[in-house]
């Protein structure tokens, strides 16, 4: 629930699910993600800017690493602006700040040209600071979905930039978890290969589909795909791992999903099993042996970390 208090037509206070949120200038209001709950986008006042933040503790605002500002423009539609202002003095990246940020700028420009879902707004380097801003428009009934979609875009841009800039994403001490692997590595590659409508789908109702995407076939029809993503190795000697994957494969093909782009219920035609490590102890053969339907077996694609590295080398390079 979002409640707005106004005095003489000016907003002086905003409560989100019973808590008053902070503002420094009455122009941008800091919105902790933990407060969002079931809040609806339509309850946001039009023309008022909100910046997502991690939390507010004892009056101190814990901002996200990449400031994300949203502004409702109509109905359930919001403009999202990602804004970075970084100084060379405190940059501690593995490569120089200029190289990193020009790479990110190129990633954004390429995606704007290829997918058309984002726009580069500002890039300025004065020798001390580098400012970069890009924007997108998102539409959903629930504010939490907008926050998650915005996070996905930001993580995808970061991931593609890190891969192109040469970050060693395969060092086990550097890679952290399945979500990071999915958002920062797998999804940017899927987009770059040429698939459309790529959506991070991880959650309670994923039914074996961490990512949903599609492509236009040679017959000009939409072919729906999904990917089940695992972090680490998959071993054929671990019965639990194999049984879990088979159950997820069964769910992925059986359960329909609501496609936010076509506004219809659909079923996938193909499923990719993507892992960051290796398939060991004949894991692929054992999975296929336990699947009875030929139609299911023939529409599975197995992709390991080595293949992902090869695809990133092939598709995620600056021209």
Question: Which is more confidently placed, 222 or 262?
Answer: 222
Q: Is the pLDDT of residue 204 over 60?
A: no
Residue with tokens 């979609």: 149
Tokens of 66: 């990449």
Percent of the chain whose predicted confidence (pLDDT) is above 90: 48
Tokens of 78: 């919001």
Mean pLDDT of 65-72: 90
Distance from C-alpha of 295 to C-alpha of 292, rounded to nearest angstrom: 9
Q: Is the pLDDT of residue 172 over 70?
A: no
- Min mean pLDDT across 58-67, 94-103, 186-195 is at 58-67
Distance from C-alpha of 73 to C-alpha of 41, rounded to nearest angstrom: 10
Banded model confidence at residue 278, pLDDT cuts 50, 70, 90: very high
Distance from C-alpha of 73 to C-alpha of 262, rounded to nearest angstrom: 23
Mean pLDDT of 176-181: 84
Decide: 14 and 8 in contact? Cβ < 8 Å.
Answer: no
Banded model confidence at residue 90, pLDDT cuts 50, 70, 90: confident
The pTM is what? 0.79
Strands (E), 217-318: 222-230, 234-235, 257-259, 264-266, 270-275, 279-280, 300-303
Banded model confidence at residue 171, pLDDT cuts 50, 70, 90: very low
Q: What pLDDT is stored for residue 190 in this prediction?
A: 93
- Min mean pLDDT across 83-92, 158-167, 304-313 is at 158-167
Decide: 198 and 261 in contact? Cβ < 8 Å.
Answer: no
Q: What topology is assigned to 172-319 in CATH? A: Restriction Endonuclease (3.40.91)
Would you kindly state where each structural domain of the chain is located, as residue ranges? 1-167, 172-319
Banded model confidence at residue 167, pLDDT cuts 50, 70, 90: low
Q: What pLDDT is stored for residue 173 in this prediction?
A: 42
Mean pLDDT of 216-232: 93
Query: What integer best gives the mean pLDDT of the chain?
Result: 87
Distance from C-alpha of 316 to C-alpha of 297, rounded to nearest angstrom: 30
Residue 256 is given by DSSP the state: -
- Min mean pLDDT across 34-38, 42-46, 63-67, 215-219 is at 63-67
Banded model confidence at residue 205, pLDDT cuts 50, 70, 90: low
Q: What pLDDT is stored for residue 207 in this prediction?
A: 74
Q: What pLDDT is stored for residue 301 in this prediction?
A: 96
Decide: 3 and 15 in contact? Cβ < 8 Å.
Answer: yes
Query: Pick from 176, 160, 80: which is nearest to 121 by CA?
Result: 80
Give residue-wise pLDDT tens across range 115-158: 889 999 999 999 999 999 999 999 999 999 999 899 989 988 98
Banded model confidence at residue 175, pLDDT cuts 50, 70, 90: low
- 156 Cβ contact partners less than 8 Å away, ≥ 6 residues apart: 183, 184, 187, 188, 191
Q: Is the pLDDT of residue 15 over 90?
A: no
Give residue-wise pLDDT tens across range 235-268: 888 667 788 899 999 999 999 987 766 678 899 9
């Amino acid at each position: 629930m979002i409640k707005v208090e106004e005095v003489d037509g000016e907003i002086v206070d905003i409560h989100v699910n019973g808590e008053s949120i902070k503002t420094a200038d009455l122009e941008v209001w800091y919105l902790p993600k933990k407060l969002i709950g079931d809040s609806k986008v339509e309850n946001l006042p039009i023309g008022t800017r909100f910046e997502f933040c991690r939390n507010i503790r004892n009056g101190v605002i814990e901002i996200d690493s990449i400031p994300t500002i949203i502004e409702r423009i109509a109905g359930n539609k919001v403009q999202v602006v990602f804004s970075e202002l970084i100084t060379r003095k405190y940059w501690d990246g593995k490569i120089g700040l200029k190289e990193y940020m020009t790479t990110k700028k190129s990633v954004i420009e390429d995606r704007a040209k290829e997918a058309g879902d984002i726009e580069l707004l500002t890039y300025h380097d004065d020798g001390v600071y580098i400012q970069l801003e890009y924007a997108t428009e998102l539409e959903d009934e629930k504010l939490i979905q907008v926050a998650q979609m915005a996070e996905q875009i930001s993580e995808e841009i970061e991931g593609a930039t890190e891969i192109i800039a040469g970050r060693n994403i395969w060092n086990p001490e550097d890679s952290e978890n399945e979500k990071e692997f999915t958002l920062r590595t797998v999804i940017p590659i899927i987009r770059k290969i040429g698939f459309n409508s790529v959506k991070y789908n991880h959650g309670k109702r994923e039914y074996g589909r961490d990512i949903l995407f599609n492509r236009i076939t040679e017959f000009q029809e939409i072919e729906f795909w999904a990917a089940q993503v695992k972090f680490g190795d998959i071993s054929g000697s671990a019965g639990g791992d194999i049984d879990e994957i088979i159950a997820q494969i069964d769910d992925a093909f059986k359960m329909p999903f609501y496609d936010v782009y076509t506004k219809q219920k659909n079923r996938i035609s193909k499923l990719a099993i993507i892992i960051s490590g290796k398939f060991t102890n004949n894991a692929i053969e054992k999975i296929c042996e336990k699947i009875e339907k030929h139609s299911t077996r023939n529409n599975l694609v197995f992709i390991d970390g080595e293949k992902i590295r090869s695809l990133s080398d092939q598709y995620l390079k600056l021209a």
